[in-house]
Amino acid sequence: MSTRGPDRPCSTGCGSPGPGDRIEVTRADGARLRFAVDSNQSFPKAGFPTGAVFGPTPAASSGLVTCAGAFHRARGSYRDNLVVFARLVGTDGRNQG
């Protein structure tokens, strides 16, 4: 669920995953993938590291992007982005192709 406002994060219900936390993703085909969080980092929107977040990686990984920092009322958005970096640690054994 997404919400906006000065007193709420953009994504609610996910908390702030930290190193070692697990994230499970269910794909459209029903396959479940399990990721372990390596780090979370906050970046100013003006300096967002697009290549580091969306570029190629040596192994299967995931990057969750949400908002962070101070809410800028005039712009109606948060100043920063929080990126949660995670690596694939397991699957349910279904075809991952």
pLDDT digits (tens, 9 = 90+) for 37-92: 999 999 998 889 999 899 999 999 998 898 888 888 898 888 999 999 999 999 98
Residues with Cβ within 8 Å of 57's Cβ and at least 6 positions away in sequence, in order, are none
Domain boundaries, the chain: 22-91
Return the beta strands (E) in the chain as ranges.
Answer: 22-26, 32-44, 61-72, 77-91
pLDDT digits (tens, 9 = 90+) for 12-40: 455 678 899 999 999 999 999 999 999 99
d(CA 93, CA 32): 8
Alpha helices by DSSP H, listed for 1-97, are 50-54
DSSP category for residue 5: S
